[in-house]
Amino acid sequence: MNPTRPVPRRVAVLVAVAALFWGLLVATSPTEAKPAARPADSSARASVDEGKTVVTFKVPNCKGCVFQLDQGYETGNPADPYSFWSSKEKQVRKGKVSWRIDTLHTVGMSATVEAPWEGHTGYLTTVAFRYGQEDVGSRIDLEKAQGKRRGTACFAGTPERRLTLLVRVRKVPVEGVHDRVLGSIAFTQRTQPWTKPMRRVFGGVLGSQEINLCEVL
């Protein structure tokens, strides 16, 4: 199991969740999450210099939504097996949210969103950068997303100085901690370059209790 994110103001992410639900939605099995290469030694990392990238999500119809970027990977070093980074939380304003981050943090990047309508889900809605059986650049709409059974939270990275993505966040009913509540589904409108692991999703919804561990190729 991934080491947990330090508890920020998002205290809604609690350990006390419904065991059956977590067995289905947020657990990444050890056999599925393969060891990640060290970014310093990877081809993706080598193509990215030490500059900055402005990451912008255009998020229509998500007033008050709060996003956060994360990066997590296995280092291959037994003395320090994991590396984690998280951005500041940013609220959507005028339909978009932006960060200026180290370009290196885009490699194996994931993103979570808290929407104001969400009930007690017990997890953070996570942006799906790619659903199963979809090619990079393919267009995703809500109907297609809800028909998917697998997805990844892991963005492959970019060497560019600006990355702008259209992210769709929609209200959907989900299984919460105690009963069915209103939750969210979040995905990029165009399938993005991605890395493993692919995880089980339900009705297209990807959820995380912990920072995702992504392979860095």
Boundaries of every domain in the chain: 19-208
Residue with tokens 């860095």: 216
Could you tell me if 216 and 74 are in contact, meaning their C-beta atoms sit under 8 angstroms apart? no
CA distance 7 to 63: 24
Q: Report pLDDT digits (tens) over 69-78.
A: 999 999 988 9
The DSSP-derived string for 139-156 is B--HHHHHT-SEEE--B-
Query: How high is the pLDDT of residue 38?
Result: 42
Integer Cα distance of 15 and 131 in angstroms: 27
- pLDDT value at 157 more than 90: yes
